[in-house]
């Protein structure tokens, strides 16, 4: 049966039903005139019951032959499921459609999770991406995390960790002849060793960034923006504790590029070394998503990058995307460095819940958390709508949400979002 004729067929069926009922009434009138009234009442009640059944069938048939797009979207929505700690990831939730309030406040006495979520104006479109990308489309993506060590055996991260398959681990030999012995999981340029893994406090920063990107959708813990994809995270530590050396960053950029990374996430800043960092980026084929940096004192909330240069945030290269931080009300974070000349886009960066070492989870704030959110949305555009990361970067910037209140903080007041094509 053609779907456009389905309603007509149901109406015909109802008419046939009434004809049968009408015949039954006249038959009863001829057979039993004395009990006529009672019989009519009985038959009318029966007819009402039958009519109700046919109307139910009619409405059911109409729903099943409705707008195919709406039906498909409804089915997809039902298929999405959320990991247990998703309720604390306010930055992933649609402030209008998909609010999930956790039952308990966090350990921070000055912070109530429910208030953050209910006051949020943020919607970066992550649910739309998860609906868009439901099956592996064959695209591969490697994201280098130039940060601290990472707990690569974390329950939510282990499946997403990149491996150098040309290297045999722990045999003391440089199997792939790249100049680094046993770099099966990457290379630590801070310690000059293959020790990229740590489950202690020194791995907290890198582990938190990694979880924002790729925490698996596995029914455990949190959900990474790319946790439903085949993305791989290349762990390339460049610092331990507070020490930062521009030379380590330069070496790490070259390593990640040589080993095939597509995107490089850098959630740290340097006060010097801008020329050598810029040169390394210019010579690379990767795209770089970098934090604008944080600064706060008694008198200053965030640095104006036009006056106080920080690197790689101030490296002028079309493949460098510098990210500032906003809160749940889309207001510029008090700690975030800023400048519309250098900051390309903003993303949530306050009370971001993600993975921590030792199968842990917790909140962190800073542009360090904003950068991987943008890296995740950049990658989302690549997975769904772009053939190259360059095309994805164009979509990222052109589809960003403009905010007039941020015009003096970031270029065009952009706020990151994944905009689904219809």
Asked if omega into 312 is within 30° of 0 (cis), the reply is yes
293-315 mean pLDDT: 96
Chain-centre distance for alpha carbon 309 = 30
Q: Is the pLDDT of residue 344 over 80?
A: yes
Residue 184: its pLDDT value, please? 98
pLDDT digits (tens, 9 = 90+) for 76-101: 444 678 999 998 999 998 754 544 54
pLDDT mean across residues, the chain: 84
Helix (H) or strand (E) segment spanning residue 356: strand 352-356
Residue 153: its pLDDT value, please? 97
How many residues appear in the chain? Answer: 422
The percentage of residues in the chain with a pLDDT greater than 70, rounded to a whole number, is 76
Residue 5: its pLDDT value, please? 42
DSSP string, 147-204: SS-B-TT-TTTGGGB---TTS-TTSSS-TT-SS-TT-SS--BTTTTBS--B--SGGGH
Residues 6+ apart with CB under 8 A from 2: none
38-66 mean pLDDT: 48
Biggest CA–CA distance in the chain, Å, is 108
Q: Is the pLDDT of residue 9 over 60?
A: no
CA distances from 29 to 37, 44, 179, 258 (A): 9, 13, 102, 94
Quote the CA–CA distance of 117 and 5 in Å, as a whole number: 47
Contact by Cβ (8 Å): 303, 292:
no
With bands split at pLDDT 50, 70 and 90, how would you rate the model's confidence at 410? very high
Quote the CA–CA distance of 266 and 121 in Å, as a whole number: 27
Residue 243: its pLDDT value, please? 75
245-255 mean pLDDT: 97
Contact by Cβ (8 Å): 379, 392:
yes
- Torsion sign over Cα 264, 215, 351, 87: positive
Q: Where are the beta strands (DSSP E) in 41-123?
A: none
pLDDT digits (tens, 9 = 90+) for 278-297: 999 999 999 999 999 999 99
With bands split at pLDDT 50, 70 and 90, how would you rate the model's confidence at 186? very high
Q: Which two tokens stand for residue 161?
A: 């960790």
Quote the CA–CA distance of 366 and 345 in Å, as a whole number: 15
Secondary structure of residue 327 in the 3-state scheme: coil
Quote the CA–CA distance of 343 and 337 in Å, as a whole number: 9
What are residue 348's DSSP bridge partners? 326
Contact by Cβ (8 Å): 332, 292:
no
Q: Which of 84-93, 204-213, 263-272, 388-397 has the lowest mean pLDDT?
A: 84-93
Contact by Cβ (8 Å): 355, 345:
no
Secondary structure of residue 258 in the 3-state scheme: helix
pTM above 0.85, yes or no: no
Q: Is the pLDDT of residue 39 over 70?
A: no
Quote the CA–CA distance of 314 and 339 in Å, as a whole number: 10
User: 71-101 burial, b if ≥16 CB within 10 A, otherwise e?
Assistant: eeeeeeeeeeebbebbbbbbbbbebeeeeee
What are residue 110's DSSP bridge partners? none
Contact by Cβ (8 Å): 420, 132:
yes
User: 295-327 burial, b if ≥16 CB within 10 A, otherwise e?
Assistant: beeeeebbbebeeebbbbbbbeeebbbbbbbbb
Contact by Cβ (8 Å): 146, 264:
yes
């Amino acid at each position: 049966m053609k779907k456009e004729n389905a309603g007509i067929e149901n109406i015909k069926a109802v008419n046939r039903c009434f004809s049968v009922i009408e015949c039954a009434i006249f038959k009863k009138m001829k057979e039993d005139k004395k009990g006529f009234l009672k019989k009519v009442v009985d038959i009318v009640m029966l007819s009402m019951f039958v009519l109700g059944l046919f109307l139910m069938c009619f409405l059911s048939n109409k729903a099943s032959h409705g707008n195919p797009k709406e039906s498909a979207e409804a089915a997809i929505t039902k298929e999405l499921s959320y990991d247990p700690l998703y309720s604390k990831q306010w930055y992933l939730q649609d402030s209008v459609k998909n609010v999930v309030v956790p039952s308990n406040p966090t350990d921070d006495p000055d912070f109530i999770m429910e208030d953050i979520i209910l006051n949020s104006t943020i919607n970066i479109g992550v649910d739309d991406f998860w609906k868009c990308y439901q099956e592996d489309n064959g695209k591969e993506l490697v994201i280098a995390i130039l940060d601290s060590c990472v707990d690569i055996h974390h329950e939510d991260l282990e499946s997403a960790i990149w491996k150098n398959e040309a290297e045999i681990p722990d045999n003391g030999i440089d199997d792939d002849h790249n100049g680094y012995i046993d770099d099966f999981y990457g290379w630590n340029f801070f310690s000059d060793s293959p020790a990229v893994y740590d489950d202690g406090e020194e791995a907290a920063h890198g582990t938190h960034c990694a979880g924002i990107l790729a925490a698996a959708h596995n029914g455990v813990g949190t959900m990474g923006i790319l946790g439903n994809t085949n993305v791989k995270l290349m762990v390339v530590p460049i610092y331990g504790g507070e020490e930062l050396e521009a030379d380590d960053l330069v070496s790490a950029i070259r390593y990640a590029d040589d080993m095939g990374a597509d995107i490089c996430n850098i959630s740290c800043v340097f006060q010097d070394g801008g020329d050598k960092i810029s040169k390394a980026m210019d010579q690379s084929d990767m795209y770089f998503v970098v934090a604008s940096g944080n600064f706060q004192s008694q008198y200053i909330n965030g640095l104006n990058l036009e006056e106080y240069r920080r690197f790689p945030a101030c490296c002028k290269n079309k493949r460098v995307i510098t990210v500032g931080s906003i809160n749940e009300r889309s207001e510029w974070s008090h700690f975030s460095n800023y400048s519309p000349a250098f900051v390309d886009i903003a993303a949530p960066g306050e009370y971001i819940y993600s993975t921590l070492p030792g199968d842990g989870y917790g909140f962190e704030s800073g542009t360090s958390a904003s950068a991987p959110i943008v890296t995740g949305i950049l990658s989302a555009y690549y997975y769904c709508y772009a053939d190259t990361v360059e095309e994805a970067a164009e979509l990222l910037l052109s589809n960003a949400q403009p905010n007039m209140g941020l015009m003096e903080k970031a270029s065009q007041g952009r706020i990151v979002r994944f905009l689904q094509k219809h």
